[in-house]
């Protein structure tokens, strides 16, 4: 029986990924650290403010972890929620765990908390870079129902490694936001196939934005996370310059493309429509030499 | 003694011949063999239809003779009127436009899903006279008794110039309609998607068909039986576990029919996982009367299923079915042959169990999907969900159910069909599934029906299954126990809260009511991880890419 990562709660993901009984939660229920803003707006609060943080081990390596719960306000980042993630990363700078693991599932900033949420997201980005600078790899996993969007989409790209499943989605503005801002002619957010071709895991893997793609299952994510910890982080100037070069090339190569399909064709996929139905192993094998990275 | 030759015995045939002669003169050179061009359809209908004719307009559960329905709305009501329409399903707006246009007057039908609200309004205003609302089998039966069509307007995939029809996988009602019409002096007109030199297989022989019209557009067809596994809830998984362990395994149900819906889709998706883990493969669910539900793919692939006969097909399943002829009924051309009349008979007489959902159940176990302001009819569920009192052959499940029934009401030994109603105690918008009085009563009153439209009568129901447990009505000694058994699984609805705790506990001790824990089911195990497919994509993968879901079900 495969335990779906996509359909699991954040707590079930932690329980499934970490070594048995190794998880110790920071700011647990009895601490009642909840959002100060939601109560004013008469909105329900969650005792963990939609993110669970703590330490534990995975394949016997000590790690710190933050897991966003999509079921609470779509994983949106409020002041407390953001501060908890920042705290994990800053503690990593001090304590040097083997890695920080971020299980992201979020629509981005919590609009009810406006500026506080925006500041929180930028602090998360800075803290990710601080942890990496201190030699602690930051590993992001994206495979939940709400995807990873908004400012947290940028934060994800600041990490050492991104692991996604085919069902995972990664982007800046979410589909509905683009449609609202630019019109349905530009982007039809109800066209689920188009959305998947633009922000889905396979597309992100082919663009080189995610480093590993795995089938939807907690065990598959666990395996990829362990491998990423082993691999460590390349924080060299050369690696950074290479990344910048890739981004510059990308605009040149794909700037005129209207659809994920056009990009895949440009990458040498003879039959882009066949890509959707490939299972993960088949896809990863076929993608050799047909990625932008 | 009068000379027998003096009496005329072929009035009907003469009338048909006159109609055909009128058609020939109206069509002139535009007709070649049996083929009539689409732009002559209205002229053809005006030539062969007489006021008061009984007209069967093929509207099935899935495929629709939509071009002919539109053509019929364009005939001159001064020439063609007072038609008596016969239809198994009213699905298209044109089906009701006929009455507003003064072309048709009376209606006999089975099911009106999408048009139910408008039908109720038109009946209220006296625009339509309803003869009766039938089950499919009843309506087909009446085609051969007192409602034989004068003209049948049917639909097929392709035809040749001699009128041989190929229906493709969606044969559905066509054979029953044409059999009744062609052999009782009626006229058969078929719209087809394409004209071919040779049809892939002959579903209807050409000499049963009078006219063939190539339609400008392929006929409409609705994917009715596709349920996205992503929408199955964990409550439904729990109920499916109880159905499998508490009923299918308990009685050894090998031959069955499933209703449409997410509750039964959950059972289908649990067969290769949960049921297999209980060692039930080969012991339950081998033979089915069922539309080709995509949710069945994992169970078929796991070798659970030996045969499936279908009422109709399902869009996207064509290639999968064609590649599994050991399981499905297929023709020499490789594609499926369905047949609603035969599959309904199979579901009634050859199945040991029917399980389906409903909207409302009363305290006698009567259930109904009727709601106020909608006349939706019956379809096929009442024939599936009824004890087949005419059945005589035995099977272990049938005998076991009969034995349980006799434990309370002694009599001569006979079997019993298992009829299971599977409902969550509250359905959407927190409407209780258990009620003191069915809405069907009010509907009957407001629409002037002779009886409240009950889908499945309480005395046919053997089990009611909710998230709270299973009530086995066969084991209830009297009406009071029956009521308490139903209340005992009715959860927090008003009916459930009104239970007599002492009697309900007694019923539980006797095994009349069984909770999940009584069946050895741990509710914490009821997770979506048990589903053999969690998305449409999983189903496609399970089929090896043979299942090709319609675009609306895809996210790729």
DSSP string, A40-56: TTT----TTTTEEEEEE
**How many Å apart are CA A284 and CA B270, to the nearest integer?**
30
| Structure confidence at residue B32 (pLDDT) | 93
| Structure confidence at residue A192 (pLDDT) | 87
Q: Are B369 and B359 in contact (CB under 8 A)?
A: yes
Q: Are B285 and B320 in contact (CB under 8 A)?
A: no
Binary contact (B554, A192; C-beta < 8 A): yes
| Structure confidence at residue B555 (pLDDT) | 85
d(CA B534, nearest CA chain A) in Å: 9
**How many Å apart are CA A276 and CA B157, to the nearest integer?**
31
B373: left (phi over 0), alpha (psi -120 to 50) or beta: left
The angle formed by the CA atoms of residues A156, A162 and A163, to the nearest 5 degrees, is 135
Question: B536 pLDDT exceeds 90?
Answer: yes
- Residue in A closest to B530 by C-alpha: A1
Q: Are B456 and B358 in contact (CB under 8 A)?
A: yes
How many contacts does A have with B, using Cβ atoms within 8 A?
31
CATH number at residue A16: 3.90.226.10
**How many Å apart are CA A228 and CA B127, to the nearest integer?**
72
The residue-averaged pLDDT of B359-370 equals: 94
**How many Å apart are CA B502 and CA B519, to the nearest integer?**
21
Kindly state the tokens that stand for B382.
């009442």
The answer as to whether A126 is a domain residue is yes
The answer as to whether A152 is a domain residue is yes
List beta partners, residue B158: B166, B194
Kindly state the tokens that stand for B344.
């309904």
The answer as to whether A285 is a domain residue is no
Residue B92 phi, psi dihedral angles, 5° rounding: -105, 150
Indicate the average pLDDT of chain B.
96
Q: Are B314 and B227 in contact (CB under 8 A)?
A: no
| Structure confidence at residue B420 (pLDDT) | 98
The answer as to whether A201 is a domain residue is no
List beta partners, residue A25: A54
- Per DSSP, the residues of B470-537 read EEEGGG--SHHHHHHHHHTTSTTSHHHHT--HHHHHHHHHTTSEE-TGGGT--GGG--GGG-S-SSHH
**How many Å apart are CA A241 and CA A219, to the nearest integer?**
34
| Structure confidence at residue B371 (pLDDT) | 82
- The separation between CA A89 and the C-alpha centre of its own chain, rounded to angstroms, equals 15
Q: How many CB atoms are closer than 10 A to CB A60? A: 9
The residue-averaged pLDDT of A40-64 equals: 96
Question: B540 pLDDT exceeds 70?
Answer: yes
**How many Å apart are CA B334 and CA B442, to the nearest integer?**
49
**How many Å apart are CA B88 and CA B96, to the nearest integer?**
14
The answer as to whether A47 is a domain residue is yes
Question: B96 pLDDT exceeds 80?
Answer: yes
**How many Å apart are CA B214 and CA B208, to the nearest integer?**
17
Reduced to 3 states, what is the DSSP secondary structure of residue B30? helix
Q: Which residues in chain B are contacts of A279 at CB distance < 8 A?
A: 541
Range list of H helices, A96-150: 114-133
| Structure confidence at residue B556 (pLDDT) | 84
Q: Percentage of residues in chain B with pLDDT exceeding 70?
A: 99
| Structure confidence at residue B372 (pLDDT) | 80
**How many Å apart are CA B394 and CA B467, to the nearest integer?**
32
Q: Which residues in chain A are contacts of B273 at CB distance < 8 A?
A: 1
- Selection from A86, A36, A38, A39 nearest residue A64 by Cα: A86
**How many Å apart are CA A159 and CA A153, to the nearest integer?**
11
Question: B3 pLDDT exceeds 70?
Answer: no
Q: Which residues in chain B are contacts of A193 at CB distance < 8 A?
A: 551, 554-556
Q: Does B551 touch chain A (CB under 8 A)?
A: yes
Q: CB-based burial of residue B332 (10 Å sphere; 0-12 exposed, 13-18 middle, 19+ buried)?
A: exposed
Q: CB-based burial of residue B68 (10 Å sphere; 0-12 exposed, 13-18 middle, 19+ buried)?
A: buried
Polymer length in residues for chain B: 556
Question: B2 pLDDT exceeds 80?
Answer: no
Positions of E strands within A41-98: 51-58, 61-68
Q: How many domains does chain A have?
A: 1
For B159, half-sphere exposure in the C-beta direction (CA atoms, 13 angstrom radius) is 29
**How many Å apart are CA B140 and CA A238, to the nearest integer?**
78
| Structure confidence at residue B84 (pLDDT) | 98
3-state secondary structure B198-237: CCCCCCECHHHCCEEEECCCCCCECCCCCCCHHHCCHHHH
The answer as to whether A251 is a domain residue is no
The answer as to whether A120 is a domain residue is yes
CB nearest to A276's CB, from B530, B551, B556: B556
Interstrand relation of B353-356 and B255-258 (parallel, antiparallel or unpaired): parallel
pLDDT in tens, B143-170: 999 999 999 999 999 999 999 999 999 9
Domain range enclosing A93: 10-170+210-233
Question: B103 pLDDT exceeds 70?
Answer: yes
For B503, half-sphere exposure in the C-beta direction (CA atoms, 13 angstrom radius) is 18
* Interface list for B 345-404 with A (CB within 8 A): none
Confidence of residue B4 (pLDDT cuts 50, 70, 90): low
| Structure confidence at residue A29 (pLDDT) | 81
Question: B5 pLDDT exceeds 90?
Answer: no
Confidence of residue B187 (pLDDT cuts 50, 70, 90): very high
The angle formed by the CA atoms of residues B166, B167 and B168, to the nearest 5 degrees, is 95
Provide the whole-model pTM. 0.92
Q: Is the ipTM above a cut-off of 0.95?
A: no
Kindly state the tokens that stand for B362.
């009363």
The answer as to whether A278 is a domain residue is no
Helix (H) or strand (E) holding A244: helix A237-254
**How many Å apart are CA B454 and CA B367, to the nearest integer?**
6
Question: A253 pLDDT exceeds 70?
Answer: yes
Q: Are A171 and A131 in contact (CB under 8 A)?
A: no
**How many Å apart are CA B159 and CA B204, to the nearest integer?**
9
* Interface list for B 515-534 with A (CB within 8 A): 528-530, 534
pLDDT in tens, B205-248: 999 999 999 999 999 998 999 999 999 999 999 999 999 999 99
| Structure confidence at residue A35 (pLDDT) | 94
Q: Does A145 touch chain B (CB under 8 A)?
A: no
Question: B1 pLDDT exceeds 90?
Answer: no
Binary contact (B541, A192; C-beta < 8 A): no
Q: % helix / strand / coil in chain B, to the nearest 5?
A: 40, 20, 40
Positions of E strands within B21-164: 54-57, 83-89, 104-111, 129-133, 151-159
Confidence of residue B264 (pLDDT cuts 50, 70, 90): very high
- Selection from B144, B115, B150, B151 nearest residue B130 by Cα: B115
- DSSP state for residue A19 in the 8-state scheme: P
Kindly state the tokens that stand for A108.
């981005």
pLDDT in tens, B17-36: 999 999 999 999 999 999 99
Four-residue CA torsion sign, A23, A25, A30, A34: negative
Residue reference for tokens 């005006």: B46
Q: Which residues in chain B are contacts of A276 at CB distance < 8 A?
A: 537, 556
Binary contact (B529, A3; C-beta < 8 A): yes
| Structure confidence at residue B537 (pLDDT) | 94
d(CA A8, nearest CA chain B) in Å: 9
Helices B11-27 and B41-48: crossing angle, nearest 10°?
A: 150
- Selection from A153, A267, A253, A277 nearest residue A206 by Cα: A267
Q: Which residues in chain B are contacts of A2 at CB distance < 8 A?
A: 529
Residue reference for tokens 């349905």: A184
Residue reference for tokens 């005419």: B390
Q: Does B540 touch chain A (CB under 8 A)?
A: yes
Q: How many CB atoms are closer than 10 A to CB B9? A: 8
Q: Are B534 and A5 in contact (CB under 8 A)?
A: no
Confidence of residue B344 (pLDDT cuts 50, 70, 90): very high
For B12, half-sphere exposure in the C-beta direction (CA atoms, 13 angstrom radius) is 13
The residue-averaged pLDDT of A263-274 equals: 94
Question: B180 pLDDT exceeds 70?
Answer: yes
Question: B528 pLDDT exceeds 70?
Answer: yes
- Selection from A56, A64, A60, A69 nearest residue A10 by Cα: A69
**How many Å apart are CA A236 and CA B294, to the nearest integer?**
52
A145-183 per-residue burial string, b: 16 or more CB within 10 A, e: under 16: bbbbbbbbbebbbbbbbbbbbbbbbbbebbbebbbeeee
List beta partners, residue A56: A63
Q: How many CB atoms are closer than 10 A to CB B197? A: 6
**How many Å apart are CA A262 and CA A268, to the nearest integer?**
10
Residue reference for tokens 């675009």: B551
Q: CB-based burial of residue B500 (10 Å sphere; 0-12 exposed, 13-18 middle, 19+ buried)?
A: middle
Binary contact (B529, A2; C-beta < 8 A): yes
Q: Are A5 and A217 in contact (CB under 8 A)?
A: yes
Q: Are B254 and B284 in contact (CB under 8 A)?
A: yes
């Amino acid at each position: 029986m495969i335990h779906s990562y996509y359909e699991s709660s954040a707590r079930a993901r932690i329980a499934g990924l970490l070594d048995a009984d190794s998880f110790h939660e920071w700011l647990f229920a009895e601490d009642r650290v909840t959002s100060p803003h939601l109560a004013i707006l008469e909105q329900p609060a969650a005792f963990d403010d939609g993110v669970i943080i703590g330490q534990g081990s995975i394949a016997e390596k000590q790690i710190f972890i933050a897991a966003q719960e999509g079921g609470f306000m779509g994983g949106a980042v409020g002041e407390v929620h953001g501060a908890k993630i920042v705290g994990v990363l800053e503690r990593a700078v001090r304590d040097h765990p083997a890695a920080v693991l971020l299980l992201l599932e979020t629509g981005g900033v919590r609009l009810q908390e406006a500026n506080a949420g925006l500041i929180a997201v930028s602090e998360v980005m800075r803290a990710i870079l601080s942890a990496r600078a201190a030699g602690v790899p930051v590993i992001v996993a994206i495979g939940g129902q709400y995807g990873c969007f908004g400012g947290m989409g940028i934060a994800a790209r600041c990490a050492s490694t991104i692991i996604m499943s085919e069902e995972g989605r990664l982007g800046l503005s979410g589909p509905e936001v683009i449609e609202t801002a630019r019109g349905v002619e530009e982007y039809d957010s109800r066209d689920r196939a188009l959305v998947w071709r633009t922000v889905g895991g396979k597309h992100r893997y082919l663009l080189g934005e995610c480093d590993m793609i795995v089938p939807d299952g907690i065990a598959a994510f666990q395996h990829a996370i362990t491998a990423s910890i082993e691999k460590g982080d390349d924080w060299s100037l050369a690696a950074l310059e290479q990344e910048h070069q890739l981004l510059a090339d990308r605009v040149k190569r794909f700037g005129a493309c209207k659809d994920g399909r056009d990009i895949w064709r440009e990458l040498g996929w003879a039959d882009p429509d066949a890509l959707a139905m490939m299972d993960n192993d088949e896809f990863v094998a076929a993608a050799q030499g047909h990625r932008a990275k | 003694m009068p000379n027998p030759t003096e009496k005329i015995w072929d009035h009907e045939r003469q009338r048909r011949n006159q109609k055909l002669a009128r058609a020939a003169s109206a069509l002139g050179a535009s007709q070649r063999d049996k083929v009539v061009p689409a732009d002559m359809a209205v002229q053809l209908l005006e030539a062969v239809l007489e006021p008061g004719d009984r007209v069967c307009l093929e509207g099935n559960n899935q495929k629709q003779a939509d071009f002919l329905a539109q053509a019929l709305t364009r005939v001159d009501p001064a020439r063609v009127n007072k038609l008596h329409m016969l239809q198994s399903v009213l699905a298209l707006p044109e089906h009701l436009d006929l009455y507003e246009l003064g072309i048709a007057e009376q209606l006999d039908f089975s099911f009106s899903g999408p048009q139910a609200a408008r039908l109720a309004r038109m009946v209220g205003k006296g625009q339509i006279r309803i003869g009766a609302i039938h089950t499919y089998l009843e309506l087909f039966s009446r085609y051969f008794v007192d409602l034989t069509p004068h003209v049948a307007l049917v639909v097929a995939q392709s035809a040749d110039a001699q009128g041989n029809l190929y229906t493709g996988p969606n044969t559905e009602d066509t054979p029953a309609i044409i059999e009744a019409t062609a052999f009782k002096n009626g006229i058969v007109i078929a719209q087809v998607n394409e004209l071919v030199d040779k049809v892939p297989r002959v579903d209807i022989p050409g000499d049963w068909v009078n006219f063939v019209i190539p339609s400008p557009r392929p006929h409409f067809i609705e994917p009715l039986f596709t349920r996205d596994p992503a929408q199955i809830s964990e409550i439904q998984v729990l109920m499916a576990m109880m159905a499998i362990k508490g009923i299918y395994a308990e009685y050894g149900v090998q031959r069955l029919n499933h209703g449409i819906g997410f509750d039964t889709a959950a059972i289908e998706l649990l067969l290769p996982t949960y049921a297999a883990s209980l060692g039930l493969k080969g012991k339950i669910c081998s033979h089915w009367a069922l539309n080709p539900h995509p949710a069945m793919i994992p169970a078929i692939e796991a070798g659970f299923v030996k045969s499936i006969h279908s009422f109709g097909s399902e869009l996207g399943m064509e290639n999968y079915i064609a590649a599994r002829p050991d399981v499905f009924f297929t023709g020499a051309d490789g594609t499926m042959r369905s047949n609603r009349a035969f599959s309904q008979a199979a579901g009634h007489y050859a199945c040991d169990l029917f399980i389906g959902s409903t909207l409302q159940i009363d305290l006698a176990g009567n259930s109904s999907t009727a709601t106020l302001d909608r006349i939706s009819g019956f379809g096929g569920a009442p024939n599936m969900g009824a004890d087949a009192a005419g059945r005589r052959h035995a099977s272990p499940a049938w005998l076991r159910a009969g034995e349980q029934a006799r434990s309370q009401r002694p009599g001569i030994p006979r079997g019993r069909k298992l009829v299971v109603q599977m409902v969550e105690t509250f359905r959407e918008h927190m409407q209780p599934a258990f009620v003191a009085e069915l809405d069907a009563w009010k509907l009957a009153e407001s629409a002037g029906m002779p009886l409240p439209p009950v889908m499945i009568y309480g005395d046919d129901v053997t089990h009611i299954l909710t998230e709270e447990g299973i009530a086995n009505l066969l084991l209830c000694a009297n009406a009071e126990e029956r009521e308490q058994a139903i209340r005992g699984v009715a959860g927090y609805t008003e009916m459930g809260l009104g239970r007599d705790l002492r009697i309900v506990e007694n019923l539980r001790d006797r095994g009349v009511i069984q909770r999940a824990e009584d069946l050895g089911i741990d509710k914490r195990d009821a997770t979506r991880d048990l589903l053999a497919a969690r998305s449409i994509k999983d189903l496609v993968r399970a089929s090896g890419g043979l299942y090709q879901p319609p675009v609306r079900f895809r996210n790729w």
